[in-house]
Amino acid sequence: MNYQELKEKLNLENIKYAENYELAPMTTLKIGGPARLYIELNDIPSAQKTIKLVSESGLPVFFLGGGSNLLIADEGFDGIVIKNKIEGISILNDSGNSNDLKVDNVEQQEKEEQKKLEARLMQVETDKYLSFDALNYDESDKEHIYVKVYSGTLLSYTIDQLIKNGITGLQWFAGIPGTIGGAVFNNIHGGTYYLSQYLAEIEIIDNNGDIKVLKVNDLDLDYDYSKLQESKSFILSAKLKLYKGDKEKAKDTAIKWAQSKVRVQPYNSAGSSFKNITKEEALKNNFLSNGWGYIIEKELDLKGFKYNGAQISTKHAAFVENLGSAKAEDVLYLFDLIYDKAKEKYNLTPKSEIFFLGFPLERIKKFL
């Protein structure tokens, strides 16, 4: 199916779309060219029809959430961008009814996830960067409660609304931009916690437009990874297993986490540029930390380096920021610089923590 045929089918279904739609304003980095076709999903029925039609077309497609962790090519994306705006939060067992709360082997899954994942960052300068231990506390003695959150809902809004209702567990992820869908897709981490530790199951819309449920252990969740990054399935919702906890303590924790991020992380960035190296690699090289902020600043001496409108942030060297006029190629120039210097000096090959859209594979494959 070509684009003209797809547009005709979208018109028949009364599905609105835009052509040559500018994407840069929809990202946290504020960089990138247009999408050939752009569609917004606001409700489930239209999402099912749209995803079925787009899948049948065989044309390239990208699902856009909050626009963080993303670098778009200056030429844009010669494909279809689908913006997820399906939002909502439901407290599933607020009435005490647990009929909808059956999740196979949840306790065993939690133990497996805890064993599989560990905090990846060896912290230094905890007087400057908030210490994980400073705010960490245990909620495992609290009563569980299940919550369903639709994927287009902002993570920040979700955390705020749940804490107001006395539902805790997500406070560790305060200050992280993006949506619930993106949080699941990337298995985000906050402090010593991963979202997977609070995830029971998700709903996806498959290529036939059907809604399917995937349990947490179907997702191969790991550090900054889920199987969804390969399958490219559309995430519709997430069922989270949270706590009826201390909302004042959770609120205070969320505020402190968010404030610490604002203090040290630049606004116009895509997020942390590279995945932390392993602790074994850090020890082998006699590094005090395995985080790229430390490596770029202390070992590569590149903090503050500018190229045209892009800069390795003076706030936190793990971030590349747009000073106002940066192009995607300016950002990639800095990525190349970090990569080449790290490889030459320590034989380390930085792997991107952000996703690329619209680039030829040859241009970005070394970061993948």
pLDDT digits (tens, 9 = 90+) for 69-127: 999 999 999 999 999 999 999 998 644 343 333 333 334 444 444 444 454 556 556 55
Give the Cα separation of 182 and 185 in Å (integer).
5
CA 13 to chain CA centroid, Å, is 31
Fill in the DSSP letter of residue 70: E
Give the fold, CATH level 3, of 266-367: 3.90.78
User: Could you give the count of Cα atoms lying within 13 Å of 38 in the half-sphere of its Cβ?
Assistant: 17
In whole angstroms, give the CA distance from residue 283 to residue 160: 39
CATH topology of domain 89-261: 3.30.465
DSSP 143: P
Are the C-beta atoms of residues 236 and 205 closer than 8 Å to each other? yes
> Average pLDDT in the 289-315 region?
95
At 121 the pLDDT is 58
Fold of 3-84: 3.30.43
The distance in angstroms from the start CA to the end CA of the chain is 30
CATH 3.90.78.10 residue spans of the chain: 266-367
Query: Six-digit token pair at 39?
Result: 């569609």
CA distance 103 to 105: 6
Concatenated DSSP letters of 260-313: HHHHHS-SSEEEESBPPPPHHHHHHTT-S--SHHHIIIIIS--TT-EETTEEE-
Tell me where in the chain the CATH 3.30.43.10 domain(s) lie.
3-84
The Cα 354–Cα 270 span in angstroms is 7
Where are the domain boundaries for CATH 3.30.465.10 in the chain? 89-261
Question: How, if at all, do strands 89-91 and 234-244 pair?
Answer: unpaired
Angstrom distance (rounded) from CA 351 to CA 331:
15
pLDDT tens-digit profile of 243-276?
Answer: 999 999 999 999 988 887 777 788 899 999 999 9
DSSP string, 176-243: --SBHHHHHHHT-EETTEEGGGGEEEEEEE-TTS-EEEEEGGGS--BTTB-THHHH-PEEEEEEEEEE
pLDDT per residue over 30-57, tens digit each?
999 999 999 999 999 999 999 999 999 9
The secondary structure element, H or E, covering residue 259 is helix 247-264
pLDDT of 196 above 50? yes
Helix (H) or strand (E) holding 77: strand 77-84
* Number of C-beta neighbours around residue 161 at 10 A: 16
139-192 pLDDT, tens digit each = 989 999 999 999 999 999 999 999 999 999 999 999 888 999 999 999 998 878
- Indicate if the pLDDT at residue 60 is higher than 70: yes
Return the pLDDT at 259: 84
Integer-rounded Cα Rg, in Å, for the chain is 21
Looking at the chain, the whole-number percentage of residues with pLDDT higher than 90 is 77
pLDDT (0 to 100) of residue 94? 47
- Given a contact cutoff of 8 angstroms between Cβ atoms, the answer to whether 56 and 1 are in contact is yes
Where do we find the tokens 């407290």? 91
* Residue entry with tokens 């995803």: 51
